[in-house]
Structures are given as C-alpha cells and as structure tokens.
C-alpha cells in the first residue's frame, strides 16, 4: 500500500491524541491501560524521530 508522508503524519497525530487521552483518563485507575498507552506514545515518538 502506498501512503504519502502527510497521511502518515495525520495517522500518527490521531494515534498520539488517542494514546494521550487514554493515558490521562486511566492514570489513577488502570495500570495496564496506562502502560499500553505509554508504550504507544513511545512508539510514535520513536517513529517520528526517524
């Protein structure tokens, strides 16, 4: 599948937004969800650095 860079950037932005709100909403109640959200945030940040 051929996807242009702008589409990838929008997808990363959406995924980052979702991971951040999920992290914030669960930070005091669900460690499993918080850990997974944090992992997603790290993956997105590392992908952006490339």
pLDDT at res. 13: 96
pLDDT at res. 44: 95
pLDDT at res. 37: 98
Tens of pLDDT along the chain (50 residues) come to: 799 999 999 999 999 999 999 999 999 999 999 999 999 999 999 988 87
pLDDT at res. 1: 78
3-state secondary structure the chain: CCCCHHHHHHHHHHHHHHHHHHHHHHCCCCHHHHHHHHHHHHHHHHHHHC
Residue 33 near residue 20, CB atoms below 8 Å: no
């Amino acid at each position: 599948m051929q996807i242009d860079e702008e589409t990838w950037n929008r997808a990363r932005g959406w995924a980052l937004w979702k991971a951040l709100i999920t992290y914030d909403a669960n930070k005091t109640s669900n460690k499993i969800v918080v850990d997974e959200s944090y992992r997603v945030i790290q993956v997105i940040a590392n992908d952006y650095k490339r």
